[in-house]
Structure 1
Amino acid sequence: MSLRDFYARRARRILPSAAVVVLATLLGALVLLPDRVSAIARDAVAAGAQVANWWLLSFGSHELGEEVAHSPLKHYWSLAVEEQFYLVWPLLVLLVVRRARPGRLRRDLALALAVLSALSLAACVVLTARAELFGYLSTLTRAWQFGAGGLLALAAPLVATRCGAGGGAAVLRAVGWAGALVLAVSAVTVTRLPYPGGIALLPTLATVALIASGTCGAARGSVARVLSLRPVRACGRLSYVWYLWHVPAVVLAAEVLGTTSWRVLLAVELLAVVPALVTARLVERPLRSSPLVAASPRRGLLLGALATALTVGAGLALA
């Protein structure tokens, strides 16, 4: 796959749905929060330009102000971090490809990624202790988590080769269960400590373990069967657009209803599945599979550019 194909697929997958939610949020703000439209519109510009994390950090590295903390688009910081990583990652691959020794490309790439991930983790630990918000939102302190996934991808062929020998499949099944258990525990415990910092190793490595357990067919035991259940898979397919919708839904509902009751907001979180389903059905899935768009990387890139332009343009018009 070429870089153009890679970016075109990401553009079709990520940007149209993200743009739809931003535009819908701006419309909702115009109706429900007219006095805050200008501030939310500036957040929309940052979200569309994939710099929401740095935009939030521009207000301070220790804590967010009241207005920013209650932005219905604040969660776009994570999408910005992801997109920024995927701008740099292919460049790293190309650099290593040019310098790799014959027959050692995978090993050299793993070494480079491991070094950069270690540096990012060290920065994460140090900076979270000194400025927790910077540690939370910065691409520099979050890159190691993507690096962990990249290292697993590089190691996957080796894991698959070894899993059938010497009880390897049983080990991977145990690793999968351990990862699931640690994820469940960390969902509760990590909130009590500065995050991400060193404590982020728990959910990150647990996720790596859970994914690793599914890289070998012989090791796909109970955890894989649970994750393969139809409701779980349906939630997985919907997770991206549901994530996009849940923060605008909760923030706007809290403002309109004048309550921060966890029961009410949980109900709103669950109701956010409705616009998520509509977006997935009418936007995400058709654009991912449409022959008209998918047949040409150029069209995919143009679609992404159009989605970005609409988001940024609408934000600038209302800012």
Structure 2
Amino acid sequence: MGRDRGDQGQRWQQDHQEARPAQHQAEAPGEEGEEGSPLGIAERDVILERERPAARPDARATSLGHRDDIQGLRAVAVLLVALGHAGIRFLRGGFVGVDVFFVLSGFLITGLLIAGAEKRGFVSLREFYARRAKRILPAAALTLIVTDIAAYRLLNFVRAKQPIQDSIWAAFFSANVQFARQGVDYFARSQPPSPIQHYWSLAVEEQFYLVWPVLLSVVLVGIAVRRRRRPSDRSPGAPAERAFSERRLALVIIVASLGSLAWSIYYTHRTPAAAYFATLARAWELGLGAALAIGASRFAHLSDRARAVMGWAGVAAIGLAAVLFADTTPFPGSWALLPTVGTALVIAAGIGNERSPRGVGAQLARAPLRYVGDRSYAFYLWHWPVLLIAASYAGHTLSLGPNLLLLGGAFVLSIASYALVENPIRRAPLRRPVRASAVLWGTTVALVVLVAVLDLRSIDQKVLLKHATPVGAIPTLAPPVEASPGAPRALPAVIAAVQAARQGSPIPGSLEPSIDRLLSDRYHPPSPDCVADHDEPKIKQVCPLLEAGSSRTLVVFGDSHAAEWMPAILWAASQDGWKVIPLIELGCIPSRYANVCAPFVEWAEREVASLHPDAVLVGARLTVGTPKQRADSVSGLGALATAMRPLAPDVVLIGDPPAQAGQPTDCLLTRGATLQTCISTLTDDQLSVYRDAAGAVTAAGAAFIDTMGWFCFENQCPMIVGHAIAYRDNQHISTTYALELRQLFRDAFTQALTA
């Protein structure tokens, strides 16, 4: 997804608040006497007091009716998200649109709950959940089903399985859990984002609303009990004459929100990829909107000047966040205060007078923005799958122009689904809310799961028929040779693969690993604690391997480009009596020039000094970006070799295999693919940084294992060597190919130690 953490990005946002509060208040309440709650919560209509409060001006009534400025703000939020995903450079922080939605949702839903308590004398949990089901489920389920079918029909089976599996999590409002798990998985982060990823925010909201209405009900019950025990509070004009206590409700939500904010700041600093999707790290944003709804009356009599200042300041804060933030911003944490407080200012500025002449509300209430705002939920649901599936089908990232056209198509879909699905069901009367919502929820979940299971089963059958390969004994490859006098040495198998590619030979019918297992064909440590992730200062548990019968100690130090060699390293070590101690941090180049990785590098150097190993083997990704990045990569490895030389008799750097131009799964499953279409050509930058790294390491007194000929011949690097897929993704070699290289590695490592 656009902000796909990695991308993240990283890493995505949605709109699913109550679009027309006034209409919801007009719907028929649920029948008394029904039992059960649609989401499994014991039904208890919380009876407060049937007495009507004394008539007095109430800002909540004016703020919780239909507000055109809020519809306009919803349009701004969804456009920030969508245009940011389309690739507009100055909106790299467009993901803050989801934070705007969180605050809006907390404000609107809490206001509706409290208004219902004041009007009817009780909070109906069953009616609340029934209305949420009508509002959220139909459009969400429709989008999931269409996305599953489109992925199945348009994408290769490896790409299609991801959104189909994710849709099952989304159907149970647990998508954020799934994407948080992927966010902390280094290798999952290297894959393109899921077309379902934006459903994480629906999950956050619905998880919040499993708790908040119940908590609100408990507080209101406590207030009612206190009033019964203290009749004096029921005297005319006493604060307790109202059906609720603003002060107590505000205290509950403020304390809970501050706790959530504190956790968000801590968790974002510690594990940002997971914090982005975490409900507890986001709950304070909805809580901010809830607190604003509780205290709405305090903003009813603001002057026009104050409204103007607050409203425009709020819009400026949202815009500033969208322009200045990026995927690299630690988010949510304290940075999320900028767009969320900005949203609260805009909402507060419109309480009691949304069309103040000088205020921002009059601009937000313009007809085009209201039109988009009414359809913002549907547009949010459709825009991301349309962008992602189109890019995956094309096989490359699309530019801004095509993405804008795709957004136009997504908006047409949102208009249709709003008119034909979302609005008719949302406006349908509630006669038996518990039963209706339970049936609606069960039906939508069943349909999504049924489509997903059928698609997955069909994919698995295709895999068995076309791509499955029996796992046999993994051969070893012959050593490098000169294809011609004076030519760089290369493996005979690599030379043959390049020559076959030049002839346009077809891809072999049987491959190892099979394509469906390729992404998982990597080194798996004995425990996840045996390696560190990129944001951790050290390994939780140092894990010595092959201790029995070993006479020498080898430390393997580096990033995932060291981990990819572990299968070959462990085989060679078992043959020659080495104990292996991996000190590996995924996603972190072992260089002090990588600021975020410096704490781990310093810890690892201290650990090596305490271990007194016989040898240190370093594996690291070579950065091929800008000239400065290449220079830093080379000098960082040279400095590391210099620092390691006094700590071990032998220090060896293994050459980093050059990255492929694309993902092997995408290339190999492209219609009409041949060996010629699945081969990469080395760039001058790749060659120069490789040579410079070798020179820097040897100048520092360390040894260098040249692996270029194990992967490339005459500057061409095939994805397939013989029947082995050499790369599991565009920059990591497969375990299968690493094991085919095991004897070559053993010989090269032994030679490096004796050099």
TM, length-normalised to structure 2:
0.40
**Counterpart-to-counterpart distance in 2, 1:84 and 1:94:** 17
**Counterpart-to-counterpart distance in 2, 1:218 and 1:140:** 32
Counterpart in 1 of 2:333? 197
Deviation at 1:194, TM superposition (A): 1.1
Matches for 1:167-316 after TM superposition, within 5 Å: 168-191=303-326, 193-217=329-353, 220-221=356-357, 222-260=359-397, 261-291=399-429, 294-297=430-433, 298-316=435-453
Please state if 1:112 is matched with 2:252: yes
SS at match of 2:360: helix
Per-residue CA distance 1:70-103 (angstroms, 9 max, x = gap): 2110110010001000111012112212333542
AA aligned to 2:218 is: L
**Counterpart-to-counterpart distance in 1, 2:131 and 2:153:** 34
SS at match of 2:197: coil
**Counterpart-to-counterpart distance in 1, 2:161 and 2:381:** 21
Per-residue CA distance 1:201-223 (angstroms, 9 max, x = gap): 00000001101111112773331
Matches for 1:1-12 after TM superposition, within 5 Å: 1=116, 2-12=124-134
Deviation at 1:68, TM superposition (A): 6.0
SS at match of 2:396: coil
Counterpart in 1 of 2:280? 140
- Check the 8 A contact 1:172/1:219 in 2, yes or no: no
**Counterpart-to-counterpart distance in 2, 1:313 and 1:183:** 40
Distance 1:6-1:232 versus aligned 2 partners, 3 A rule: same
Counterpart in 1 of 2:170? 47
**Counterpart-to-counterpart distance in 2, 1:204 and 1:98:** 30
Percent of paired sites with the same residue: 38
Deviation at 1:15, TM superposition (A): 0.6
Deviation at 1:62, TM superposition (A): 6.6
**Counterpart-to-counterpart distance in 1, 2:404 and 2:185:** 28
Counterpart in 1 of 2:153? 31
Distance 1:284-1:170 versus aligned 2 partners, 3 A rule: same
AA aligned to 1:33 is: L
- Check the 8 A contact 1:175/1:209 in 2, yes or no: yes
**Counterpart-to-counterpart distance in 2, 1:241 and 1:193:** 28
Deviation at 1:63, TM superposition (A): 5.5
AA aligned to 2:410 is: A
AA aligned to 2:411 is: V
**Counterpart-to-counterpart distance in 2, 1:155 and 1:148:** 11
AA aligned to 1:136 is: Y
**Counterpart-to-counterpart distance in 2, 1:133 and 1:218:** 38
- Check the 8 A contact 1:213/1:219 in 2, yes or no: no
Per-residue CA distance 1:1-58 (angstroms, 9 max, x = gap): 4111111111111110000000000110111014133332210100100000001122
- Check the 8 A contact 2:169/2:175 in 1, yes or no: yes
Report how many aligned residue pairs link the two structures: 312
Query: Which sits farther off after the overlay, 3-12 or 139-148?
Result: 3-12
Counterpart in 2 of 1:125? 265
**Counterpart-to-counterpart distance in 1, 2:344 and 2:186:** 30
| Higher RCO, 1 vs 2 (CA within 8 Å, ≥6 residues apart) | 1
Per-residue CA distance 1:167-217 (angstroms, 9 max, x = gap): x34212210111011111111112252111111000000001101111112
**Counterpart-to-counterpart distance in 2, 1:38 and 1:56:** 15
- Check the 8 A contact 1:49/1:312 in 2, yes or no: no
AA aligned to 2:180 is: L
Counterpart in 1 of 2:726? none
- Check the 8 A contact 1:96/1:105 in 2, yes or no: no
Query: Which ranges of structure 2 fall in alignment gaps of 5 or more residues?
Result: 1-115, 117-123, 228-239, 457-755
**Counterpart-to-counterpart distance in 1, 2:354 and 2:152:** 54
Please, which of 2, 11, 16 is the counterpart of residue 138 of structure 2? 16
SS at match of 1:38: helix
Distance 1:173-1:296 versus aligned 2 partners, 3 A rule: farther
- Check the 8 A contact 2:180/2:275 in 1, yes or no: no
Relative to its length, the structure with more helix (as a share) is 1
SS at match of 1:50: coil
- Check the 8 A contact 2:246/2:294 in 1, yes or no: yes
Matches for 1:159-174 after TM superposition, within 5 Å: 159-160=299-300, 162-163=301-302, 168-174=303-309
Deviation at 1:304, TM superposition (A): 2.8
SS at match of 1:27: helix
SS at match of 1:112: helix
Counterpart in 1 of 2:460? none
Query: Which ranges of structure 1 fall in alignment gaps of 5 or more residues?
Result: none
Relative to its length, the structure with more strand (as a share) is 2
**Counterpart-to-counterpart distance in 1, 2:453 and 2:199:** 17
Counterpart in 1 of 2:606? none
- Check the 8 A contact 1:114/1:151 in 2, yes or no: yes
Deviation at 1:138, TM superposition (A): 0.2
- Check the 8 A contact 1:62/1:132 in 2, yes or no: no
Query: Which sits farther off after the overlay, 65-74 or 220-229?
Result: 65-74
Deviation at 1:267, TM superposition (A): 2.5
Counterpart in 1 of 2:179? 56
AA aligned to 1:262 is: L
AA aligned to 2:401 is: R
Distance 1:296-1:60 versus aligned 2 partners, 3 A rule: same
AA aligned to 1:129 is: H
Counterpart in 1 of 2:220? 97
